[in-house]
Structure 1
Amino acid sequence: MAIVLSFLIALPVLAWTDAVAWPVALALLGAGGWIAIIGFLDDHGHIAARWRLLAHFGGAIWALFWIGGMAPISLFGLEFNLGWFGYVIGAFYLVWMLNLYNFMDGIDGLASIEAICACVGACLVYWIAGHTSLAIAPLVLAMAVLGFLVWNFPPAKIFMGDAGSGFLGIVLAVMSLYAAWTNPLFLWAWLILLGVFIVDATFTLIRRLLRGDKVYEAHRSHGYQYASRKYGSHRAVTLAITAINLLWLVPVAILVVMQYLDGVAGLVLAYVPLVLLAFKYHAGELEVAGKA
């Protein structure tokens, strides 16, 4: 809750001083606060999966209302306006992002490091593109998470729970959709920056669906979980993913925004090694006793 409260308290101040636009501030306050409450209640009791999902879509709809849905998508130099269908895609995108972030919060420091790397990468992208005003919100979020990471870095003394991970997931996703209204390439940049989480979670989900697993049940079959068991270290995996983010994904995102790479081409380039790593570390495979 420290991440949630510090960021949400800062948002109105930033909006009143015109550092952050009111529409995105209201989107983040409402959706982020609501998802954090649902996560907090689930952390301290239990909310049935169907009601959690309904609440998640409620938060997504609130955010989309304030930011105006999805901006036109840039594909191979052409822009496509999705109209009302953009709201549908946007809602599913926001709900998936908040849930995958929850799924990926399974070892010490990982969800914190991912948020910081993505936010710092986005700030760098905005600066290079000449839209530094967009960097304020992700920069403040990165600072809030950095304060939490002091105690969350492996071996962790505190944990964020569903309240923190779901909050981070939807806030990062809302910021990515909002930035696309300024430049459609910014959405591709965010998808690249969050690639480690998106690929591992999506790859794992697809494998479990194909196997007929109950995907809403807890499991330990994500690639990063297999890797942490193989090497016997949360710290090693968290630091390795930090390196992937900073040395691979951030440079690819910059190339996309500088238009040296098309958004789709950049996404494929960024994701191919991540998919190979998902295979290597058995993401989504059936958990077998004794398997690394």
Structure 2
Amino acid sequence: MTVMFSLSAALMVAFLLTGILRRYALRTDLMDIPNDRSSHEVPTPRGGGVAIVVVSLVGLVGLGLSAAMPITALLALGLGGAVVAGIGWLDDHRDVPARWRLLVHLVAAAWVVVLARGAPPLALPGVSWEWGWFGAVVLVLFIGWMLNLYNFMDGIDGIAGVEAITVAGPAAAMLWWLGALEWASVAALMASATLGFLAWNWPPAKIFMGDAGSGFIGFMLAALAVLTWADAGLSIWAWLILLGVFIVDATITLVRRAVRGEKFYEAHRSHAYQHASRYYNRHLPVTIAIGVINLLWLTPLAFTAAYLPEWGIVLLLLAWTPLLLGCLRYRAGLPD
């Protein structure tokens, strides 16, 4: 009962705070103005994701004070998430050079990996690979890529919120199943706070998430993947499967743009989900489709990977293959 009350409170506070942030954005002219690289047509307030940041960080402090979370986990998620959100907030208000944002992102990622005590052994068919310092470097890059790709993928109404809820929600269920109730509470907190924001961001969006929110969510999901793998035994394969839609689309798009010599870090609208939204002339079908894919296709495979981690790489290939084909179908990384 206490858990349900806390999650309901997180949802309601995030909802109310998003409304306050919307009024602030309108008053201060913090608007996202459409251009030829946008997927929207009318000026829209941005920065609503700060509500997710505030509710999540306050919730983390509450879990720490109640001794429900180890102090190292609180420091990894709370301090790292606050730094990532802070640089995103600055970028929302004034452009921060990409190199400085990337530096902050990688420092926050390294902070998490250090507190996780490096990379846990990687389960593969018939072997457990102790990958040492190489694995630690891979995890730092993974967290850095996740928080940036989440920003790249936050380009149509509702998509980032639906992704966060349909990843964090199933992850909370898997962690509860594994007996890691404190970690399940963190994942559920993320889902609840995002749901409060999503009520305002549902197509047609009344406010956008902004870099502070998208970077924070990307960081938190990636950091949770590393920390729960190290502390709760939830296989990284399960997390990679759950995050497949965003990872596959963003990665294929980046590779294709880089091969053509484009500045892949600049704003564009060549992701598969952006092509799909123009094909259907609406954001809603694409946003709903991502939620359905996550819940009905990726979640069962992620649960299987959590139960059979040594077969995780096989399940990952099975899970990602249709996503890859879908991205090719919707011309990920190719111009209009």
TM-score (norm 1): 0.94
TM-superposed deviation, 1:67: 2.1
Aligned AA for 1:250? T
1:90-125 residue CA offsets vs partner (Å, 9 max, x unmatched): 111110000010000000110011001101111122
8 Å Cα contact 2:76-2:112 kept in structure 1? yes
Aligned to 1:244: 293
TM-superposed deviation, 1:65: 2.2
CA distance in 2, matches of 1:184, 1:210: 38
Aligned counterparts, 1:108-257, within 5 A = 108-182=157-231, 185-257=234-306
Aligned to 2:142: 93
How many residues of Structure 1 are paired with residues of Structure 2 in the alignment? 287
For 1:241, what is the secondary structure of its paired residue? helix
For 1:118, what is the secondary structure of its paired residue? helix
1:19-68 residue CA offsets vs partner (Å, 9 max, x unmatched): 22221111011111111111111111111111111111111122222222
Aligned AA for 1:122? A
* Gap regions ≥5 residues in structure 1: none
Deviation larger for 185-194 or 218-227: 185-194
Aligned AA for 1:13? G
CA distance in 1, matches of 2:118, 2:150: 21
Identity value in percent: 49
8 Å Cα contact 1:154-1:234 kept in structure 2? yes
The alignment status of 1:281 with 2:330, answered yes or no, reads yes
Distance of aligned partners of 1:14 and 1:184 in 2 relative to their CA distance in 1, 3 Å threshold = closer
1:65-90 residue CA offsets vs partner (Å, 9 max, x unmatched): 22222221111142122222232111
CA distance in 1, matches of 2:126, 2:72: 28
Equivalent residue for 1:78, pick from 124, 127, 139 = 127
TM-superposed deviation, 1:183: 5.5
Deviation larger for 155-164 or 19-28: 19-28
* Gap regions ≥5 residues in structure 2: 1-49
1:108-167 residue CA offsets vs partner (Å, 9 max, x unmatched): 110011001101111122233343332111011111111111111111111111110000
Aligned AA for 1:92? L
For 2:123, what is the secondary structure of its paired residue? strand
8 Å Cα contact 1:73-1:184 kept in structure 2? no
The two structures, once aligned, show a CA RMSD in angstroms of 1.4
Aligned AA for 2:246? F
Equivalent residue for 1:15, pick from 64, 78, 102 = 64
Aligned counterparts, 1:45-64, within 5 A = 45-64=94-113
TM-score (norm 2): 0.82
Aligned AA for 2:103? L
Aligned AA for 1:115? A
1:192-250 residue CA offsets vs partner (Å, 9 max, x unmatched): 00100000000111111111111111110000000001101111110011100000000
CA distance in 2, matches of 1:213, 1:225: 18
8 Å Cα contact 1:72-1:184 kept in structure 2? no
Aligned AA for 1:12? V
TM-superposed deviation, 1:171: 0.6
1:229-274 residue CA offsets vs partner (Å, 9 max, x unmatched): 1101111110011100000000111111222971001100100000
Deviation larger for 16-25 or 233-242: 16-25
Equivalent residue for 2:79, pick from 26, 30, 36 = 30
For 1:74, what is the secondary structure of its paired residue? strand
CA distance in 2, matches of 1:15, 1:186: 24
CA distance in 2, matches of 1:79, 1:274: 27
